[in-house]
Structure 1
């Protein structure tokens, strides 16, 4: 992508957070009345410094990981697999809450302009999640065009609002408006300031998106990505600071009936078309920001599945080249969170900061270790930037965890702990299965087979057949050469019919490795390898069977599949269910039989 397209596509999440970040900050400070609002500038200044420091830190990440360096990869490479899993837990929590918070804030923007929608917040939000689910399962082409217009419209709307509001303030000589009617329910204290700081810091969620997606840029990708990140950081700081200053000048405080942005737009534009433009742009960018999680959540889940920390079904690409299972899981989790917290942004914000800054902290700590180990040119400066980012992110993490623990942060902390426990148990299971399947020196001799080739028959309609009319070819589908695969080959050879082994390779390198294994094993059975670069396995296998059927329509094809059968029923979900999918795909073809050979572990 060009920078002008990449900026809105990858920054929608971060830039749209100014729609709820400043309001979240003010919503905490207003609890202490006028005295609390007096701290708005010091707290906002600290958040601006935090955004700047983390933005500079991620510039170093882009330089070190030009092929994309998400928190899971960076933390796992430099701090170990457990740190990588904790970072992934923070990311997954962040993505689920991105969907819930963005939709809640978007619905609130709509309800501010059309009060009648306030009573149907939850059904409206669930409807939006359903639309995002359907759209992402079908795949979205030209995503850049889709994201660019609403994001740029939101940027224009915010700068119009800030500029016109401040110009009006200058024209009035910044005459103070009557103080809003706020009643102090808490005293000003350190805990209140900490809560306000961690709530306002949610305005920088999504700032890591560009560092995750470096390969999508035009060459030189990492330079383009760093420039785009700098623009995003500058726009984020300008909009966040502008909204805070304008709210202070206009004496606007959060209201349960209308968002802060809506109040500011009403003061500057009345109820005319500019007000409608601001609200529509805000709602649109928030709803599209929720969609960014649909790109990142399934991708991180597929990486976890690749490393055997998540069920392998999350590596599977659907017909539209999207990780369908990850998309469905994200939708279900976001819908559950949205309903549980009644679709209220203020209720969801306390959960948000923990996951975000947990991932930030581990990613930046990983970068510190990276620079220390590599000692590449300018490593000291890069290490200093990442160390500052790690320190500030850790302070926000601790602040959010302590100050918001009883307000909902405990839910995020519990989710991270459960995620870590679950992924480690899944990895242990896969390791146990791999050990059970590993070939040993005392493995039984390789099965022999007949060498006669399949007969060629003319295509004809199906009819009743006698045993002598049935001509076989046994096709053994192998994912890898292990004990389960050898058992399937032994069964196929025992039938006394011609046998052909078929391996679906996910890359040329894996195909070469499979051929080398096959040669070392003895090449007892003819092997065909099909390379599937999109990680699909069922479709290439089906296409191969269809081709064989078209070449030899009178041939009966028996497809033999090794199948892992686990002792515990719950573990079966962690293994691919290829046989049922193949049966459904091959049912329309005559003369095709699917046989599963179980291997118990």
Structure 2
């Protein structure tokens, strides 16, 4: 009762299946929930560019401006591509469905497996980055960042278990407050720059020659800055979460997200460059820019507070998209069927819980070091990006619908650029992204093993004339007994109703004297029930009982009889009382459970106090 009471308090009362349409999102809520990951990346994407450029000196920071333009061009190509995917695959699935249908099952699994891992990383990275923002503003919490991050994951898990619409209603406000705060910071920064309040000495002029700059370094910076595009694909995976018409609303929301992301990303890069802000270990670039423009007053803490919230809430993109990806994989028999089950609040609760647990383990393993997670996270996004673009190229070349050449050009450009970015991550950050080369093949292998199991089970359960079971001519009942009690009497009465003529009670004794004593008591109590007593000098119940069952089973098969073992078991009134009693019947049942031609039955006897 305590469990159910806590469950109701945490996630609310169950919803009827007919209320499913009420859980769908309008564009306003969907933009907040499904775009929070992409929008939040502006808090660390520009910083990743500066970290690479800083290796040759702050004079190279002016390169961040053309790099930002390149990132925005890539963003535009990806947005246009995923708009096409939304209309071509209106039931969701994104890169997984595109790759599977156009490139084949294994490329589809590479895309699906990458996203499967990536959404776990989405939660871990977002919460870790949010924790960094909180500890930047409140340094006293730095030593407790792991506990803080895991606590935030638990809170997000509970909110999502309460239902998509309810979590969206709560979490939409911080997202829009973050957008407002960053726009105001950018606007104030541009105003100060235009007014001449920012010293020209704070930054190197554009075009300044920089010693040590190379094309390879610029590509590294571009790849690192492209981490700001993580989460862009989430809307295409979560189309069923939108109100009707789903594809139209999803495509519009994707466009709005792209416009906002481009403005925020370019704005932060521009302001950071002009103010000469350099990344440090203990303070983020956004924190430094906010302090330069507003000082460390109320508005600074408003920016930091909303940044921390959006970074944490970016994890909600994973909570929204991961369960639907899991459903698509489950429909193709690559994941356990439990991922397809809806919970009390009509969400895919098993997927939500799985995501929360695995992300928490990842946070603990990496000790909230965001810089170690971002490259791993970003490369996991660009693998499905590349496959989705290549899949759409194949689709246009095969179908050749109206305007297919323009669409093909967009997808070709996107595939090439995404592949280059992915390659740069592997070349420049191999020490951080190598786990993908291990975990992704393992995940795909697990997918295949699950599907292989389901196919094998389906084949074995399918009824044909050759596999129809022959009805047995009778039933032999074996009842293991440990004494003369009401529990045993209850089981014997049930056994008599099934097969009164072929009922055998079995008693295992550790001392020979106990056998004679028990046989006398049994003859006086149940003279019409055959009793078999087994002596066990090594004090094992399982071994002599199993041997006896083997003998009975062999004879029963010869006579076309079925053997059933009935276990008497009393059920205590309170669950914790089970720890006070011998669980030998549990071990015996576990030993017999995998016997092919044996039926195991439990006859419970409920205690009242």
Query: What TM-score, normalized to structure 2?
Result: 0.71
Contact 2:93/2:328, CA 8 A, preserved across alignment = no
The answer to whether 1:237 aligns with 2:262 is: yes
Q: Would the alpha carbon gap of residues 342 and 440 (structure 1) be closer, same or farther in structure 2, given more than 3 Å must change?
A: same
1:467, 1:432 → 2: CA distance?
39
Q: Would the alpha carbon gap of residues 85 and 565 (structure 1) be closer, same or farther in structure 2, given more than 3 Å must change?
A: farther
- Aligned-pair CA distance for 1:566: 11
The answer to whether 1:286 aligns with 2:315 is: no
1:179, 1:383 → 2: CA distance?
41
The answer to whether 1:36 aligns with 2:48 is: no
User: What is the correspondence of 1:194-593 to structure 2 with a 5 Å cutoff?
Assistant: 194-406=219-431, 408-444=432-468
Q: 1:115 aligns with which of 139, 145, 152?
A: 139
RMSD of Structure 2 on Structure 1 (CA): 3.5
The answer to whether 1:49 aligns with 2:70 is: no
- Aligned-pair CA distance for 1:27: 1.4
1:258, 1:18 → 2: CA distance?
15
Q: For residues 64-123 of structure 1, give each alpha carbon's deviation from its aligned partner in whole angstroms, at most 9, with x where no partner exists.
A: 122224211121121111111100111012111111111111111111111112222222
Contact 2:375/2:425, CA 8 A, preserved across alignment = yes
- Aligned-pair CA distance for 1:446: 6.7
User: What is the correspondence of 1:74-85 to structure 2 with a 5 Å cutoff?
Assistant: 74-85=98-109
2:390, 2:604 → 1: CA distance?
53
1:589, 1:81 → 2: CA distance?
52
Unaligned 5+ residue runs, structure 2? 1-24, 205-210, 474-488, 499-560, 563-591
Contact 1:357/1:396, CA 8 A, preserved across alignment = yes
Contact 2:102/2:391, CA 8 A, preserved across alignment = yes
- Aligned-pair CA distance for 1:280: 1.1
Unaligned 5+ residue runs, structure 1? 181-185, 450-462, 473-493, 496-562, 568-578, 591-601
Q: Secondary structure of 1:297's partner?
A: helix
Q: For residues 306-364 of structure 1, give each alpha carbon's deviation from its aligned partner in whole angstroms, at most 9, with x where no partner exists.
A: 32222333333333333333333322322232223221222211212211000111112
Contact 2:238/2:321, CA 8 A, preserved across alignment = no
Query: What TM-score, normalized to structure 1?
Result: 0.72
- Aligned-pair CA distance for 1:215: 3.4
Q: 1:127 aligns with which of 151, 154, 158?
A: 151
The answer to whether 1:10 aligns with 2:43 is: no
Q: For residues 198-228 of structure 1, give each alpha carbon's deviation from its aligned partner in whole angstroms, at most 9, with x where no partner exists.
A: 2110111111122222333344332222222
Q: Would the alpha carbon gap of residues 334 and 216 (structure 1) be closer, same or farther in structure 2, given more than 3 Å must change?
A: closer
Give the corresponding residue for 1:531: none
The answer to whether 1:24 aligns with 2:24 is: no
Q: 2:119 aligns with which of 95, 114, 120?
A: 95
Give the corresponding residue for 1:525: none
1:54, 1:302 → 2: CA distance?
24
Contact 2:56/2:212, CA 8 A, preserved across alignment = yes
Give the corresponding residue for 1:149: 173
Contact 1:8/1:147, CA 8 A, preserved across alignment = yes
Give the corresponding residue for 1:594: none
Give the corresponding residue for 1:136: 160
Q: For residues 531-574 of structure 1, give each alpha carbon's deviation from its aligned partner in whole angstroms, at most 9, with x where no partner exists.
A: xxxxxxxxxxxxxxxxxxxxxxxxxxxxxxxx99699xxxxxxx
Give the corresponding residue for 1:547: none
Deviates more, 1:96-105 or 1:116-125: 116-125
- Aligned-pair CA distance for 1:128: 1.3
Aligned pairs, how many?
A: 475
Contact 1:35/1:188, CA 8 A, preserved across alignment = no
- Aligned-pair CA distance for 1:187: 4.3
Contact 2:160/2:319, CA 8 A, preserved across alignment = yes
- Aligned-pair CA distance for 1:173: 5.9
Q: Would the alpha carbon gap of residues 466 and 340 (structure 1) be closer, same or farther in structure 2, given more than 3 Å must change?
A: closer
Q: For residues 342-396 of structure 1, give each alpha carbon's deviation from its aligned partner in whole angstroms, at most 9, with x where no partner exists.
A: 2122221121221100011111211222222333332332222222222221111
1:221, 1:300 → 2: CA distance?
17
Contact 2:35/2:317, CA 8 A, preserved across alignment = no
Deviates more, 1:302-311 or 1:58-67: 302-311
